[in-house]
Chains A and B, each alone.
Chain A
Amino acid sequence: MANWNNLTKGFFRENPILVLLLGCCPTLATTTSAINGLSMGLATTFVLVLSNISISLLKNFIPNKVHIPCYIVVIASFVTVLQLLMQAYVPSIYETLGLFIPLIVVNCIVLGRAEAYACKNSIGASAVDGISMGLGYAMALTILGSIREILGSGSIFGWKFIEGDTILVFVLAPGAFIALGFLISIMNKILKKSN
């Protein structure tokens, strides 16, 4: 039961972006389409799970005073591994997400989960936490990407169903802020009801 709760919390109760408001920058920048949002979410999940596992493994080895630099080195290594792998096997996605792949290093979710969870819990629980938080993040990004793609370009996952003019502003910067604002507001409403 505890494990099940641990696994589902990231999607809803503790959704990193919609409830905890962590990792806003890539959320706004990369969700111009559903597929971009999903790719960014999965890339972050990759780093999050691996860094959670390693930090949980290393928690008794790292002295307290230098824990932040140690965590950063671990996270940055996984980000670089991800960068190299994406460049090699999915170059087109790597190019679309561009700058925001190296910037996963400073995504507050990754360091935040390391500090708040992985350094206190077992390896298994930390891995589950990483998966839950990562996929919850990916889900939120995909939803936001879908909304912006449907309204802004009249398509979903690249499949176009509205020809002609669409509300272009949703693909542009202002639309990102506004769409996320309304999404969080709706999420608040749902959470209040379920309590």
Chain B
Amino acid sequence: MEYLLIFISAIFVNNIVLTQFLGICPFLGVSKKISTSLGMGAAVIFVITLATIVTWLIQHYLLNPFNLGFLQTIAFILVIAALVQMVEIILKKISPALYAALGVFLPLITTNCCVLGVAILVIQKDFGLLEGAMYAMANGCGFTVALVIFAGIREQLALADIPNGMKGVPIALVTAGILALAFMGFAGLV
């Protein structure tokens, strides 16, 4: 039940993209087609969960015992960068099919701030390992939901007649704003 609440809260109430502003770059960059946004979402869910587990272990078994909390940022980003590269290599060897589907998105994830953001948030909120992993996965799902909905709207938007000055990024941002407004309706659900 508690885990269900974490999921509902992360996907609808505190959506990572639309209310916390993490991961906006890929949100605007790879949201032109539903199929690519699904691929990106799946890659993010995978990496974010793995990265949070590894960074949690590093924080609690390496940084905290040696009083090295100030190295958090540097340690986390290196771990995430290394992890992304490792996942890429392993995936290529073990499952070429999955690699073909997710491969192009993996390098982009290193600089996706929602991965580092969630890893730091889990430490700040003092979650346990399982709870943290659930929170990370839920936020990955929240990212995917926002991305896919947005891609669906943008596919239609491409066909619409838009004033010249608003074409491209401006109309995308305004649409995202209206989407965020809709998500505010979920406030107070949990």
A residues contacting B by CB (< 8 A) are 21, 24-26, 28-29, 68-69, 72-73, 76-77, 79-80, 83-84, 99, 102-103, 105-108, 111, 169, 172-178, 180-182, 184-186, 188-189
The answer to whether residues A77 and B121 also contact, given A28-B24, A174-B180 and a CB cut-off of 8 A, is no
| Interchain CA distance A84-B78 in the complex, whole Å | 19
The answer to whether residues A79 and B172 also contact, given A25-B23, A108-B25, A174-B184 and a CB cut-off of 8 A, is no
**Residue pair A76, B25 in contact (C-beta under 8 Å):** no
Q: Which of A105, A177, A186 has the most CB of B within 10 A?
A: A177
The answer to whether residues A83 and B73 also contact, given A69-B78, A177-B176, A184-B169 and a CB cut-off of 8 A, is yes
**Residue pair B173, A80 in contact (C-beta under 8 Å):** no
5 A-B pairs (CB sep. < 8 Å): A77-B74, A111-B111, A176-B21, A181-B176, A186-B165
- Kindly list chain A residues whose C-beta atoms are within 8 Å of the C-beta of B169: 21, 181, 184
**Residue pair B120, A102 in contact (C-beta under 8 Å):** yes
Interface of A, helix, strand, loop or mixed by DSSP: helix
Is B19 an interface residue, CB under 8 A from the partner? yes
- Kindly list chain B residues whose C-beta atoms are within 8 Å of the C-beta of A29: 20-22
Closest to B20 in A: A29
A172 CB → nearest B CB, Å: 7
17 further contact pairs, Cβ within 8 A, besides A76-B73, A99-B117, A174-B180: A24-B28, A29-B21, A68-B81, A72-B78, A73-B74, A76-B74, A79-B73, A80-B70, A80-B71, A102-B73, A103-B117, A105-B116, A177-B174, A178-B177, A181-B171, A182-B174, A185-B165
Chain B contact patch, size range: 35 or more
Leading 9 A-B pairs by shortest Cβ distance: A181-B173, A177-B177, A29-B21, A178-B177, A185-B170, A76-B74, A24-B24, A174-B181, A174-B180
- Kindly list chain A residues whose C-beta atoms are within 8 Å of the C-beta of B40: none
Total number of A-B contacts with CB less than 8 angstroms? 112
| Interchain CA distance A188-B168 in the complex, whole Å | 11
- Kindly list chain B residues whose C-beta atoms are within 8 Å of the C-beta of A25: 21-25, 113
| Interchain CA distance A175-B184 in the complex, whole Å | 12
Closest to A169 in B: B181
- Kindly list chain B residues whose C-beta atoms are within 8 Å of the C-beta of A99: 117, 120-121, 124
| Interchain CA distance A175-B174 in the complex, whole Å | 9
Interface string of B5-21 (1 = CB under 8 A from A): 00000000000001111
- Kindly list chain A residues whose C-beta atoms are within 8 Å of the C-beta of B177: 174-178, 181
Is B91 an interface residue, CB under 8 A from the partner? no
| Interchain CA distance A184-B176 in the complex, whole Å | 14
**Residue pair B180, A84 in contact (C-beta under 8 Å):** no
A187 CB → nearest B CB, Å: 9
| Interchain CA distance A139-B19 in the complex, whole Å | 24
**Residue pair B77, A76 in contact (C-beta under 8 Å):** yes
B52 CB → nearest A CB, Å: 15
Of the candidates A69, A102, A177, A181, the one whose C-beta lies within 8 Å of that of B72 is A102
